[in-house]
């Protein structure tokens, strides 16, 4: 087997192993619940023993734990995530379908704003290293990286939606009957919030890798050939500087999966983040399980893609293996 | 390597360490030269002082009713009242202790877990290393807040649980930093000498390795404290931290956000204080990180 393929397969295997362990944790965690789901569904009516036992049987609670786990995992694999407890037995999948789409649109929107902007900021602060611009960007990044996302979101609401300007809606209650694309105005503040939280990490990484590339011999060569500074930067240096940044970009997109929890709650945006908060408040375990599993899968998946992309793209890793 | 060979090396490694100040003190000294570290420390001390001493200066009790709900600032209540008529200023002055205290506790838990696992992993290597790292990968697969929410949904919104989960969510990253530093130190001659002399492994970990990795751990502490503050305040903001009628900055934001258009102060002031506090701790962490890089460059990795 070619070593490159072997390396990728090992990464893939580790990713799948992690995901499987995550599913065990999510399942086991819900088993630690004092009392059982059957009692939770029936509430005070659990006094009726026969009805309670019937429901336990219906929910497969009478089987051994490992069998319950594999039944559950099999369901998950087929897209059956069980029924919501809080919403009177509505299937979790149909409950979460719209939320997943809305959140995906939000994250995509945030990525479209933050990635080009981070690349621009990172490249410029590398070119103008130690200038006033660079120092300002550095301190700005440091502050933004420190701020919790909900703080950024609320400050934006205070600035743009309430006190200083009245441009944008403070609450992003997307109308579920119309497509989210026709309500883009509602996406602006949540997406900017997420972008501001991501930009520091990506632009800092890009600055560092651009500086490294600008000091390399082939960039020196391009300069000596008489190419203009702009051509050298954008055509020759930047494409190579982006490679090590890919991992950070993917990590940050993955991180957005967690960041949306508080941000969606700030804006009342009906995605998977606010869905998780609601489900936790209602102790709707099937929904909590589904969302935790989904978010962890996105997180592990993006990390995996980043690792594999880095292996494939970076010539040093590729040739080093041969 | 035989013992007589090792002894002079061991002596050489130990003797100067007794004369030289500890590694972390050198890092702090170096960091203190930077303006950003000073600014961060000033911010941090100011907010901590406000949180600790604030209750002494609060005009009212944080739970007594002083006026109509969501009343604007007045001579009686400088920052107005909150959603049920508490004095906002008093609640702000009372509400910082919990955020800072719980965040510190979570960071310490994360540090203890991470350093312990990271050192064992980095020193033992082989299957212990692999196992510990795989287990930490599971924790790493969940964004911190999702991990905390998963367990809150099971146990309920308990403060000890939130502190513990935030601590656990920090452990993998701290363990990775610790592991990398430990692997580096474990290859040095003075560790080999100690091993050759038959020093117990836990003594090597505690007295030979730990003192030599304190600087990266100091930087980690600053970083993780910043994130702990955000997570603890965030969980209170989501309604899973402190519960009513407690005075807590995160909880205040949650309680009063419905009135944000009429009376923004009970939301704006806690938000700004949390924000400034995290910026302060991050400035200190950055100063320490830069000092560490500078020292490593100057001494070639010692």
CA dist A211 and A188 (Å) reads 33
Residues in B touching A300 (Cβ below 8 Å) = 141
A82-129 confidence digits (pLDDT tens): 777 777 777 888 778 888 888 888 888 898 999 899 989 998 898 888
pLDDT at B2: 42
pLDDT at A249: 82
CA dist B265 and B11 (Å) reads 62
Q: Which residue of A has its CA nearest to B231?
A: A148
A237 near A219, Cβ under 8 Å?
yes
Q: Which residue of A has its CA nearest to B153?
A: A280
Residues A48-66, mean pLDDT to the nearest whole number: 73
pLDDT at residue A313 greater than cutoff 50: yes
Residues in B touching A279 (Cβ below 8 Å) = 153
β-partners of residue B65 are B86
List, as ranges, residues 95-154 from B with C-beta within 8 Å of A: 134, 137-138, 141-146, 149-154
Q: How confident is the model at residue B80 (pLDDT cuts 50, 70, 90)?
A: confident
B192-250 confidence digits (pLDDT tens): 888 888 788 888 888 888 888 888 899 999 999 999 999 999 999 999 988 888 889 99
Residues B89-96, mean pLDDT to the nearest whole number: 90
β-partners of residue A83 are A91
pLDDT at residue B92 greater than cutoff 70: yes
The dihedral formed by the CA atoms of A286, A290, A291 and A297, expressed in degrees to the nearest 10: 160
CA dist A105 and B277 (Å) reads 32
CA dist A215 and A222 (Å) reads 12
pLDDT at B10: 53
Using the beta-carbon criterion (under 8 Å), do A295 and B146 form an inter-chain contact?
Answer: yes
Residues B99-114, mean pLDDT to the nearest whole number: 95
A259-290 confidence digits (pLDDT tens): 889 998 888 888 899 899 988 888 888 888 88
Contacts of A290 (CB under 8 A, 6+ apart): A81, A82, A92, A93, A96
Residues A37-64, mean pLDDT to the nearest whole number: 68
- ipTM of the shown complex: 0.86
Neighbours of A77 (CB within 10 A): 9
A128-149 confidence digits (pLDDT tens): 888 899 899 999 999 998 999 9
The closest alpha carbon to B139, from A118, A22, A166, belongs to A22
Using the beta-carbon criterion (under 8 Å), do A148 and B151 form an inter-chain contact?
Answer: no
Q: Which residue of A has its CA nearest to B275?
A: A147
Could you tell me the pTM of the whole model?
A: 0.85
Contacts of B57 (CB under 8 A, 6+ apart): B93
The domain locations on chain B are: 24-295
Q: How confident is the model at residue A322 (pLDDT cuts 50, 70, 90)?
A: very low
Q: What is the CATH number of domain B24-295?
A: 1.10.3720.10
Closest approach of A293 to chain B, Cα-based (Å) = 9
B265-302 confidence digits (pLDDT tens): 899 999 999 999 999 999 999 999 888 888 877 775 44
């Amino acid at each position: 087997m070619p070593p490159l393929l072997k390396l990728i397969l090992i990464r893939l295997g580790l990713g799948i192993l992690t995901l499987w362990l995550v599913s065990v944790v999510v399942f086991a965690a819900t088993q630690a619940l004092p009392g059982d789901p059957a009692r939770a569904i029936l509430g005070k009516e659990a006094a009726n023993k026969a009805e309670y036992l019937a429901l336990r049987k219906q929910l497969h609670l009478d089987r051994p734990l490992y069998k319950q786990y594999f039944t559950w995992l099999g369901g998950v694999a087929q897209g059956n995530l069980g029924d919501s407890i809080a919403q009177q037995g509505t299937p979790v999948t149909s409950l979460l379908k719209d939320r997943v789409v809305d959140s995906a649109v939000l994250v995509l929107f945030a990525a479209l704003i933050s990635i080009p902007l981070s690349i621009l900021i990172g490249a410029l602060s590398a070119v103008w290293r130690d200038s006033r611009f660079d120092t300002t960007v550095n301190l700005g990044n440091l502050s933004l990286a420190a701020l919790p996302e909900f703080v950024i979101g609320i400050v934006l609401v205070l600035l743009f939606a309430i006190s200083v300007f009245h441009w944008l809606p403070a609450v992003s209650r997307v109308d579920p009957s119309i497509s989210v694309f026709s309500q883009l105005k509602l996406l602006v503040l949540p997406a900017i919030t997420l972008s501001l939280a991501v930009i520091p990490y990506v632009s800092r990484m890009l600055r560092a890798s651009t500086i490294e590339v600008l000091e390399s011999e082939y960039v020196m060569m391009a300069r000596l050939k008489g190419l203009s500074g702009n051509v050298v930067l954008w055509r020759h240096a930047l494409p190579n500087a982006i490679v090590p940044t890919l991992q950070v970009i993917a990590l940050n997109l993955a991180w957005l999966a967690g960041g949306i929890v508080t941000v969606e709650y700030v804006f009342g945006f009906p995605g998977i983040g606010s869905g998780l908060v609601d489900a936790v408040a209602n102790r709707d375990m099937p929904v909590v399980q589904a969302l935790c599993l989904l978010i962890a899968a996105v997180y592990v998946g993006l990390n995996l893609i980043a690792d594999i992309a880095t292996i494939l793209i970076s010539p040093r890793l590729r040739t080093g293996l041969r | 390597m035989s013992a007589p060979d090792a002894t002079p090396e061991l002596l050489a490694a130990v003797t100067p360490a007794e004369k030289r100040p500890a590694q972390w003190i050198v890092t702090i000294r170096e960091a203190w030269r930077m303006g950003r570290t000073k600014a961060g420390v000033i911010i941090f001390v100011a907010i901590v002082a406000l949180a600790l001493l604030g209750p002494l200066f609060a005009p009212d009790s944080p739970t007594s009713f002083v006026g109509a709900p969501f009343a604007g600032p007045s001579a009686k209540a400088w920052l107005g009242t909150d959603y049920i008529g508490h004095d906002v200023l008093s609640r702000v002055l009372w509400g910082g202790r919990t955020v800072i205290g719980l965040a510190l506790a979570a960071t310490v838990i994360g540090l203890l877990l991470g350093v312990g696992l990271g050192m064992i992993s980095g020193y033992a290597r082989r299957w212990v290393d692999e196992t510990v790292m795989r287990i930490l990968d599971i924790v790493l697969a969940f964004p911190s807040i999702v991990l905390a929410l998963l367990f809150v949904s099971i146990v309920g919104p308990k403060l000890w649980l939130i502190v513990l989960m935030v601590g656990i969510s920090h452990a993998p990253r701290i363990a990775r930093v610790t592991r990398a530093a430990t692997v580096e130190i474990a290859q040095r001659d003075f560790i080999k000498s100690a091993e050759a002399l038959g020093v117990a492994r836990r003594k090597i970990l505690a007295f030979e390795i730990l003192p030599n990795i304190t600087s990266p751990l100091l930087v980690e502490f600053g970083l993780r404290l910043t994130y702990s503050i955000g997570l603890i305040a965030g969980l209170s903001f989501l309604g899973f931290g402190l519960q009513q009628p407690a005075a807590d900055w995160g909880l205040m934001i949650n309680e009063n956000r419905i009135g944000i258009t009429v009376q923004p102060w009970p939301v704006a002031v806690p938000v700004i204080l949390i924000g400034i506090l995290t910026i302060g701790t991050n400035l200190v962490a950055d100063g320490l990180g830069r000092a560490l890089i500078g020292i490593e460059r100057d001494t070639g990795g010692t």
